[in-house]
Amino acid sequence: MYLDGIETFLDLIESRSFHLTAERLGITQSTVSSRVKTLEATVGSRLFVRGRAGASPTAAGRRFEEHARSIKASWGLARQELGALDRHEGSLRIASTVSLSGNLLPDWMDRILRDLPRVALHVEADYSPQMINDILFGNLDIGVMYAPRFLPEIQFELLMKQRFILVSTKARELRDVDLSTYIRAGYTPSLEKSHSELLPDLSRPRLSVGLDLLAISHLKRNGGSAFVPEHAIDRLKAESAADIVSEAPVIEQPVYFAIHIKRRSSVIVRKAVKALKELVATGLYGNG
C-alpha cells in the first residue's frame, strides 16, 4: 500500500500547490512530484494538471479522492485494531442512527461489553449513507439505520419499526394543532412520505427539521407541536409540559441493521447481532 503517495495526494487536493504541499509535509517539491507520478502510474490515470493557478485535480483525481480517504482511514483502523488485539481477542465496530443514540445504542453497548468481555469495542452515532460507506470499505461491522441502500455486498435486515407520536405543548386534539407553531418531521424520506399522506394539512409549516433531537429541543425552548420518538415522550412531558395529541396518527419508521456479507460468519458479529435482536424483542424501542 503506497501510503506516502496517498498522504501526498490528499494534501495536494487541499493545497492545489506542489510547493505548499512540500512545505507542509516537510519534503522537497521534487519528492512531491515523484510521489504523484508513482501514484498515477499505480492507478493508471493522470490525477493532476499543472497550470498557472497551481495543481488542479483531473476528473480521475476528483474521483480517486474518495478512495484515497478510505484507504487512509482503513489503514488507521487496521493499526488501531491490531494494537487492540495485543490486549483483546477481537474487535468490533458498531454504529446506529443518531436518533437511537440515546436509548438503543447505549443498551446495546452494555450488552456487548457484558457478553463479549474480551472484545475491543468502538461505537459511533452516524447517518445512513456514511454507515453504508463504512460497511462497504470495512470501517464498520454493524450499522443500525433508517435508510438502506440495497447492494450485493451488504446484508440488510428489518430490525423493528420505530413509532413517532405527535405531541404538543398547546394542542390536546389534532384539530387544535396550530400550523404556525408546528414543526414538521423531516427525519427520513419514508417518514416524510407518510406524514404527507396522513396529514396533508400540516405539510407546509414554516419550520421543518431533519433530526428529532432538534424538534425536541425546539419544543422545550419555544413550545409547539411535533412528531417525536415514542421513547422520548415521558421525559418531554416532564420537561416541557408536552402531551400526546389525541386522534393523531402514529407514524412508523422502519429500522434496519446492516453487515457486510463477508462478516456474516464472524462469531463476534453474530453474538452482537443476537444481543441487538434480544434488546429489540423487549419492545422498549419499537415494534420488533
pLDDT tens track for 160-213: 999 999 999 999 999 999 999 999 998 988 999 999 999 999 999 999 999 999
Q: What average pLDDT score do residues 83-108 get?
A: 84
Mean pLDDT rounded to a whole number for the chain = 90
Last residue of a domain, one of 80, 104, 136: 80
Task: Specify the pTM.
Answer: 0.69
Sign of the CA dihedral running 68, 73, 77, 79: positive
Number of H helices, E strands in the chain: 10, 11
Residue 1 scores a pLDDT above 60:
no
Residue 226: give the domain boundaries: 161-253
Q: What average pLDDT score do residues 96-122 get?
A: 93
Q: What is the pLDDT, as a whole number, of residue 83? A: 61
The two most distant CA atoms of the chain are separated, in Å, by 72
Instruction: Report helix angle 267-281 to 104-115, nearest 10.
Output: 130
- Per-residue burial over 198-227, b if 16 or more Cβ lie within 10 Å, else e, is ebeebeebeebbeebbebbebbeeeebbbb
187 DSSP 8-state letter? S
Q: How many domains does the chain have?
A: 3
Q: What average pLDDT score do residues 207-234 get?
A: 93
Helices (H), 85-211: 104-115, 128-136, 189-198
Run of H or E including 126:
strand 119-126
Query: Both 121 and 238 in a single domain?
Result: no
Amino acid letter, residue 229: P
Query: Both 15 and 40 in a single domain?
Result: yes
pLDDT tens track for 44-61: 889 998 887 788 899 998
Query: Which CA distances in Å does 118 have to 79, 85, 131?
Result: 18, 10, 25
Query: Which CA distances in Å does 257 have to 152, 154, 155, 186, 240?
Result: 15, 10, 8, 21, 33
Residue 23 scores a pLDDT above 60:
yes
Residue 85 scores a pLDDT above 70:
no
Q: What is the pLDDT, as a whole number, of residue 75? A: 76
Q: What is the pLDDT, as a whole number, of residue 139? A: 86
Query: Both 261 and 154 in a single domain?
Result: yes
How remote is the C-alpha of 156 from its chain's centroid? 15
Percent above pLDDT 90 for the chain: 57
Query: Both 200 and 224 in a single domain?
Result: yes
Residue 25 is part of a domain; what is its CATH number?
A: 1.10.10.10
Residue 143 is part of a domain; what is its CATH number?
A: 3.40.190.10
